[in-house]
Amino acid sequence: MDIEVIIKSKVKEAISALYQSEIDESQVQIQQTRKEFDGDKTVVVFPFLRLSKKSPEITAQEIGDYMKENLKEISDYNIVKGFLNLSISTAYWVGLLNEMSKEAQYGFKPVTDESEVVMIEYSSPNTNKPLHLGHIRNNLLGFSISEIMAANGNKVVKTNIVNDRGIHICKSMYAWMAEGNGETPESSGKKGDHLVGEYYVKFDKMYKQQIAKLVAQGISEDDAKEKAPCMVETRDLLRKWENKDEETIALWKKMNGWVYTGFDETYKRLGVDFDKIYYESDTYLTGKDEVLRGLEEGLFIKEEDQSVWANLEAEGLDKKILLRSDGTSVYMTQDIGTAKMRFKDYPIDHMIYVVGNEQIYHFQVLSILLDKLGYKWGKDLYHFSYGMVELPHGKMKSREGTVVDADDLMDEMINVARKVSEELGKLEGYSDQEKENIYRIVALGALKYFMLKVDPKKGMMFNPEESIDFNGNTGPFIQYTYARIQSVLRKAQEAGVEIPSVAPSVAPNAKEVELIKTLSRYSVVVADAGKNHSPALIANYVYELVKTFNQFYHDYSINKEENKEVQAFRLVLAEQVGKVIKSGFSLLGIEVPERM
């Protein structure tokens, strides 16, 4: 049983015995004892003074004496003003280690029939370009939050909305029609998403050249942007698409098919997946129908030009357009349609959108509109907003071709991992296949950990070389510690030492106790990470655990320990540390190598 639950129960008992008063356990405040004082758990005594009618020090002493006499888990206590610092017995920590080691998934809550359904949307790519660095942070955050919410006993549905329609898609289509000469991924040897992205960049170059030519002829820049032939024809292409022109639809399906194949390869390589994918081309008409329903019910208003708006001034916001005067939809319309389809497909209790912080206002509005339209989770939808990620050489722009592709970045990370590993000589004696697999695991571990360890609300600078460091707060440092633990366990077994399922009842030293205490906090950290939707809490906890283990391992031997019971205890302890590292990293979507 959790030590805080035990302490609360015994404090309630002490108050009853000492002061003939009854309290609720919720009134017992327990804190971690501050590092400058002796003890493990601190009971705040001030709320009980009205019952004891004595000073804080005397009240704390009386409760402390009762606890020490009546609770075997308490070995000692000290008092600092109105704070009772309790020291937990070493026997309790040994017992707790054994309880943890018995659990198949320590720190996780099981999914039951009563578990809430949590849908998490992430990725949301456009089909006119490959996934890029910004998408990497989005996908890693979304996947990790999904794993954390599942670990907290929720039924999780991972979902994606693909923005597969609109003027930006038509730009790539037009450029391919104008300059493609029938090029395909097969004929060019390029990934489909990269190929389509190249034509999006070509369109931008073509467009700028035509604008410059028109301006040179004396036309204003604004008029030139409207009259540039490629833009005029692209708008015509969009109209054909909306009118379901067969030839246009066929080209759109073909080029989007290339992109989806490319996306699937990148998602697989990145280690993320989805339970359900929605497409804007399917949802925007549903959204339009919902808006028209809202108009009929008096929720929205129609202006003279036939455009439809939501007046949110009563909610402290402004007016928001939902349908343009020509009847075409906007992003908000699509999101309403997607929400309706999702609500029909799943009994959603909570909806989490993983989208950059530039969309905060959009989701404030969406939440209000969904609530008005009758979707019970609309009011409580959660926008997990995060800051942008940049590389040391500056900002990226898709249309100018300066975006760092996700595939290219992963390739670069693997090259850096290869270079660093070769310089350190860590993989001598490994086959080429084994080396390449470890380079991949280390590279992606470095990338993911670097992205996830920081507060997601902050913008960040990603430096590939800095992330792949076998020292400090990095993925490879933690992976290396895990591999070291597995090596210790293997060597023990090779020497004929059996790792027991239950740790012997030895008296652990201070560093071993500190390691068990750190392990015991994992379940609390998992719960807090779920409550706060924060992969960073998991990442930084695992780093703290690894530091604590390495401090212990620096001072004490495991396999060279002569006392067999102490050796067996340390093997159980090391094994549990390895399990928690692996478990914590699984919540971040990071693999750990068994050898390194």
Alpha-helical (H) ranges within 510-563 are 510-520, 522-532, 535-555
Answer yes or no: is pLDDT of 247 > 70.
yes
CA of residue 171 relative to chain centroid, distance = 33
pLDDT tens, residue by residue, 454-463: 988 888 888 7
Planar angle of CA 81, 83, 89, nearest 5 degrees: 130
DSSP 163: B
Task: Locate 481 and state its tokens.
Answer: 């510690």
- Among 46, 63, 88, give the residue marking a domain's end: 88
Mean pLDDT of 56-70: 97
What is the pLDDT at residue 402?
52
CATH number (domain holding residue 432): 1.10.730.10
Q: Is residue 240 pLDDT above 70, yes or no?
A: yes
Q: Is the pLDDT of residue 466 over 50?
A: yes
Phi/psi-derived region of residue 184, left when phi > 0, alpha when psi is between -120 and 50, beta in every other case? beta
% of residues, the chain, pLDDT over 70: 98
pLDDT at 393: 62
Given 73, 88, 103, the domain boundary residue is: 88
Residue 1's SS3 state is coil
* Model pLDDT for residues 395-414, shown as the tens digit of each residue: 434 444 456 889 988 998 99
Residue 259 lies in a domain: no
**pLDDT(592) > 50:** yes
| Domain membership flag for residue 232 | no
* Mean pLDDT, residues 438-459 taken together: 92
Q: What average pLDDT is seen over the chain?
A: 93
Model pLDDT for residues 265-316, shown as the tens digit of each residue: 999 999 999 999 999 999 989 999 999 999 999 999 999 999 999 999 999 9
Q: Note the pLDDT of residue 389.
A: 83
Residue 389 falls inside a structural domain: no
Considering the domain boundaries, does residue 20 fall inside one?
yes
Q: Give residue-wise pLDDT tens across range 108-136.
A: 999 999 999 999 999 999 999 999 888 99
Q: Would residue 217 count as lying in a domain?
A: no
Question: Averaged over 580-590, what is the pLDDT?
Answer: 98
Q: How far is CA 438 from the centre of its chain?
A: 23
The larger pLDDT score, comparing residue 158 to residue 32, is at 158
342 pLDDT more than 50: yes
The CA distances from residue 187 to 175, 182, 184, 254, in Å, are: 17, 9, 5, 14
29 lies in a domain? Answer: yes
Number of domains in the chain: 2
Judged against a pLDDT cut of 70, whether residue 542 lies above it is answered with: yes
Query: What's 58's domain CATH number?
Result: 3.30.1360.70
In a domain, 432, yes or no: yes
**pLDDT tens, position by position, 359-406:** 999 999 999 999 999 988 888 899 999 988 877 765 434 444 456 889
Considering 88, 115, 133, which residue would you say is the last residue of a domain?
88
Residue 420: its pLDDT value, please? Answer: 85
- Nearest 10 degrees: Cα torsion 223, 228, 233, 236: -10
- What mean pLDDT is predicted for residues 491-514? 93
Query: Which residue range(s) make up the domain with 59?
Result: 3-88
Angle at which helices 3-19 and 56-70 pack, to 10 degrees? Answer: 110
Residue 112 placed within a domain: no
